[in-house]
């Protein structure tokens, strides 16, 4: 079955950068929305950045100006470029693909830890 496989997480010092990738292991067509969400320890999962099929993006205020979301439809891949990372960005990051009313797929999560 189709799965979303995440990569790019890890340990980084404050001020550093990471690039997360999320790719479908199988063929998917017509994905309406791709996004990145994160769960900070002790908090609920929150939206980080979302990109529509048109290329329109919606980025959370907490990361605006530092994080950039992009997608490669030919590769069924979504990316999150994270620059100027802060300690408070430490979280498990999840990717999400949505199509129509009955397709909502999540990645396994990847840990991002930012040290001071």
Find tokens 């430490």 and name the residue.
90
pLDDT tens digits for range 23-38 = 999 888 888 999 999 9
Rounded to whole angstroms, the Cα distance separating 55 from 43 reads 29
Percent of the chain whose predicted confidence (pLDDT) is above 90: 84
Residue 42 has pLDDT above 90, yes or no: yes
Residue 1 pLDDT > 90, yes or no? no
């Amino acid at each position: 079955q189709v799965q979303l496989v995440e990569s790019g997480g890890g340990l980084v010092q404050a001020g550093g950068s990471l690039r997360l990738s999320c790719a479908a292991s199988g063929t998917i067509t017509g994905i309406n929305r791709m996004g990145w969400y994160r769960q900070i320890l002790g908090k609920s999962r929150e939206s980080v950045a979302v990109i529509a099929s048109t290329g329109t993006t919606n980025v959370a205020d907490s990361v605006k100006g530092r994080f950039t979301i992009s997608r490669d439809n030919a590769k069924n891949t979504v990316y999150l470029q994270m620059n100027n990372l802060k300690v408070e960005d430490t979280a498990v990051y999840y990717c999400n693909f949505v199509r129509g009313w009955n397709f909502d797929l999540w990645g396994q999560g990847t840990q991002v830890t930012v040290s001071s």
